[in-house]
Amino acid sequence: MIDGKKVLFSGMQSTGSLTLGNYLGALKNWVTLSDEYECFYSVVDMHSITIRQEPSELRKRARNLLTLYIAAGLDPKKNCIYYQSHVSGHAELAWILNCFTYIGELNRMTQFKDKAAKHADNINAGLYTYPVLMAADILLYQADVVPVGKDQLQHLEITRDIAQRFNAIYGEVFTIPEPYMGKAGANIRSLQNPDKKMSKSDENANASIYLMDDPDTIIRKFKRAVTDSEASVRYREEQPGIKNLIEIYCACTGKTPEETEKEFDGRGYSEFKPAVGEAVVSVLKPVQDRFYELSKDKAYIDGIIKENAEKANYYATKTLRKVQKKIGFPERIR
């Protein structure tokens, strides 16, 4: 609890460009949650280096992501928006938690197996202990809730296990976090293959709508979206491509699938697809405009980075000192 509010922690990696899926499934919900919770939204650049990064590119993307958080509507005075690498407590707590995590647990992590297979030339120890750093992120702020996608649930589970194990030995040190699964828009699929999630790292550029795609590109990608030969706008499992487009349309317009079916009854895909594109443009365009506006104001963004790093450090240090004391590290002499 901070000022009577429950604490929320989440983060995104500053690798690749965010997609419409990231926006509708995460960022947009973060904005809604920021009224109810005391929120920490981190740009988790320390996680990013588990895969080799080009330094100038990583720096640029991290800043763009932080700016995008604000452009999407997160008030940086209310929400702690900061770089993970600016708070050394993440690394310090991660080390301690490493000593409370079993190799057997890490061996079960499906994301590690996937990433190791994908980057067989660089299976580093950081990739392996990635979930422990994530546990440190969450536990450092005593988070009550963590909005995550399905793919991160296993990491939240191990976070809870580590926290419970630690608490069982040392007393109630950590808050045990609960996952928060968003509802609407959480499940945006690829436009080229609706069996797959829309992904930042899809090789086919037509498969994903990127947050910063210009309106023409967005409309074009929707016109090319893979559908079926049924030619009717119906919300059913048998039409996964159309189902996905309806979900996107609904997430952007606030309409229900039934209303959408009615609206496009008797009209073909050639009318529906561009309409979905327009709906997406009307949601993304204001975010893009704000992003470009904010990007010009270097001093403002720098100020936020500094202020919020201080705020994050304050809470992180509080937890870290408590943990260090519990495990028997010598007290600091002031």
Which residue in the set 7, 8, 24, 44 belongs to the binding site for ligand TRP (CB under 6 A)?
A: 44
3-class SS shares of the chain: helix, strand, coil, % to 5: 55, 10, 35
Sequence-distant (6+) residues with CB within 8 A of 253 are 279
Q: Residue 266: left if φ>0, alpha if ψ -120 to 50, beta else—which one?
A: left
Residues in the interface with ligand TRP (CB under 6 A) total: 13
Using rule CB under 6 A, residue 137 touches ligand TRP: yes
For residue 221, how many other CB atoms are within 10 A of its CB? 22
Q: Closest separation between CB of residue 47 and ligand TRP, Å? A: 5
Angle 47-48-54 from CA coordinates, rounded to 5°: 150
Catalytic residue among 28, 197, 221, 273: 197
Among 138, 140, 252, 305, binds ligand TRP (CB under 6 A): 138
Nearer to ligand TRP, 64 or 152 (CB): 152
202 binds ligand TRP (CB under 6 A): no
Which of 200, 311, 318, 326 is the catalytic position? Answer: 200
Region 95-134 residues binding ligand TRP, contact defined as CB under 6 A: 134
Binding residues among 142-161 for ligand TRP as defined by CB under 6 A = 146, 148, 152
Check binding of 213 to ligand TRP (CB under 6 A).
no
Q: Does 61 bind ligand TRP (CB under 6 A)?
A: no
Residue 47, classed as helix, strand or coil, is helix
Q: Compute the least distance from the CB of residue 9 to ligand TRP, in Å.
A: 5
The reply on whether position 50 binds ligand TRP by CB under 6 A is no
115 given a catalytic annotation: yes
- By CB under 6 A, tell whether 10 contacts ligand TRP: yes
Q: What is the DSSP string of 254-321?
A: ---HHHHHHHTTT--HHHHHHHHHHHHHHHHHHHHHHHHHHHH-HHHHHHHHHHHHHHHHHHHHHHHH
Pairing type for strands 145-147 and 178-180 reads: parallel
Span near ligand TRP by CB under 6 A; candidates 9-17, 165-173, 264-272, 314-322: 9-17
- Taking the complex as a whole, the smallest distance from the CB of residue 89 to ligand TRP amounts, in Å, to 14
Query: Is 200 annotated as catalytic?
Result: yes
Contact window for ligand TRP (CB under 6 A) among 3-11, 116-124, 254-262, 317-325: 3-11
Rounded least distance, CB 112 to ligand TRP, Å? 11
Q: What's the CA angle centered on 191, arms 187 and 196, to 5 degrees?
A: 55
Residue 316's closest CA among 127, 93, 163, 165? 93
| DSSP H stretches of helix in 1-52 | 20-22, 28-33, 45-48
Task: Say whether residue 21 binds ligand TRP (CB under 6 A).
Answer: no
Catalytic residues: 115, 197, 200
Residues at the contact surface with ligand TRP, assessed by CB under 6 A = 9-13, 44, 47, 134, 137-138, 146, 148, 152
